[in-house]
Structure 1
């Protein structure tokens, strides 16, 4: 399939999930993960009508951002080292991988220097896999309480990554767990405004994620394809 066909196919699948889940398709934003494709292919993604772009390393995103930054909404979706904050701050409207206090402090420091407010997702390791980044669920309240004192950070929601499994249905407890954690944290009123968003679901499991409440799904291979596509 070509790019337009893949986009239409994904949109049809999301629409079907939303219909059976009594959700509006407007509640689900697709982040096109362009980390493995070129500037030219990324431009084609924008030309095709997609708005949200996901990158996980500044060195791979730089050429694309410098050429196209005014055309899309940029999401930093990878693990963010504290010493790399200076490279991404002010360029990405959303950072999906806030997972420790030291990173929050550096984001706050650099955002204050630029006099901007940054939208962040707190990354949670719901599955408990040692290979995954993210806070343990029980550590989330303490981080949120600390971030509440950082006026240049705006916590919009939670993010997680599910295990890679053959049967997507096996990811459901992870996605449901993130939604339930968000709801519990909102009841504690640890953020300035209730957290609305859930960044969860990738090419192999996004339908389950949408059923469980995802508001941003991060789609690479199923949507963008490979460079030669």
Structure 2
């Protein structure tokens, strides 16, 4: 089932790229494996998937230790400062930086292990009260501060769009994040790259790709509904 679903998602990404005149190579699929067992991740690996996303630090660390080291792990959930030390050497990319204090902690842990840690700034484009992330207006001032940290590298932006019945409703959200990345890129700041736009999930990733996503985070569309009674 996992291989088939991966194939379907890949096909949908290609179609969305075709529709918007993009090269499918520009879009990275992150298979969101939170709460999924090792066996399902192995199924995805057999089908050629090597990039996985986790919401929780502990779950990422457990899977990192249990699975082959050629996999790439992305921390896509909210990150508490006291947990940074556990993933500083494991996360290929942290998608959810939303404060200077968190970035300073990442910088501190990066310095300890002499690793410049790539991050995305999480933007709450839709201004939902239940979501983490900075507002569109706060994004540039925050990036200006974080860019001064030598062990943190800003690679782009991330957003979690609202859950909607019609994915078209999220098009303005994705468009706004893309425009924000273009505006920030034009400032040519040191240590700031805007080559990554992490947006779009199972419900709306096709629309996100059409609007410029370079990473989509798909869990249910690959692994089926989440089972919260299992975490490993």
Match of 2:193 in 1: 194
Q: Give the drift of 1:7.
A: 1.0
Using structure 2 for the length normalisation, give the TM-score.
0.94
Q: How does 1:62-77 map to 2 (within 5 A)?
A: 62-77=61-76
Q: Normalized against structure 1, the TM-score is what?
A: 0.95
Q: Which runs of 5+ in 1 are unaligned?
A: none
Check whether the contact 2:60–2:73 (CA below 8 A) recurs between aligned residues.
Answer: no
Please give the residue correspondences for 1:2-17 in structure 2 after superposition, counting only pairs within 5 Å.
2-17=1-16
Q: CA–CA distance in 2 between the matches of 1:209 and 1:69?
A: 30
Runs of 4+ in 1 over 6 A off after TM superposition: none
Compute the displacement of 1:227 (Å): 7.4
| CA pair 87-4 structure 1, distance change in 2 beyond 3 A | same
C-alpha displacement of 1:215: 0.3
Which residue in the other structure is 1:128 paired with? Answer: 127
Other structure's SS at 1:15 match: helix
Query: Retained in 2: the 8 A contact 1:39–1:63?
Result: no
C-alpha change, 1:122 and 1:227, in structure 2 (3 Å) is closer
Q: Is the 1:124–1:160 Cα contact (8 Å) retained in structure 2?
A: yes
Cα offset, 1:193, TM superposition:
4.7
User: Which blocks of at least 5 consecutive residues in structure 2 are unaligned?
Assistant: 228-232
Classify the secondary structure of the residue corresponding to 1:155.
Answer: strand
Kept in 2: contact 1:144–1:190 (CA 8 A): no
- Write the distance in 1 (CA, Å) between the matches of 2:58 and 2:154: 25
Q: How many residues align?
A: 227
Q: What per-residue deviation string (whole Å, max 9, x for no partner) do you get for residues 163-185 of structure 1?
A: 01100000001000000001111
User: Are 1:144 and 1:191, in contact at CA under 8 Å, matched by a contact in 2?
Assistant: no
Between the aligned partners of 1:118 and 1:24, the Cα distance in structure 2 is: 27
Find the aligned partners of 2:41 and 2:226 in 1 and give their Cα distance: 10
Q: 3-state SS of the aligned residue for 2:31?
A: strand
- Alignment map for 1:71-220 (pairs within 5 Å): 71-220=70-219
What's the C-alpha RMSD, in Å, of the aligned pairs? 1.4
Secondary structure in 2 aligned to 1:132? coil
What residue is the counterpart of 2:230 in the other structure? Answer: none
Q: Distance in 2 between matches of 1:209 and 1:154?
A: 24
Instruction: Say which is worse superposed, 192-201 or 158-167, in terms of deviation.
Output: 192-201
Matches within 5 A, 1:5-44: 5-44=4-43
Secondary structure of the structure 1 residue equivalent to 2:95: strand
Confirm or deny: 8 A CA contact 1:42 1:64 kept in the other structure.
no
With over 3 angstroms needed to count, the CA separation of the structure-2 counterparts of 1:38 and 1:18, relative to structure 1, is same
Q: Secondary structure at the match of 1:223?
A: helix
In the superposition, relative to structure 1, how do residues 52 and 139 fare at CA in structure 2: closer, same or farther (>3 Å)?
A: same
- Describe the superposition over 1:173-205 as per-residue Cα deviations: whole angstroms up to 9, x where unpaired: 100000000111111223435311100000000
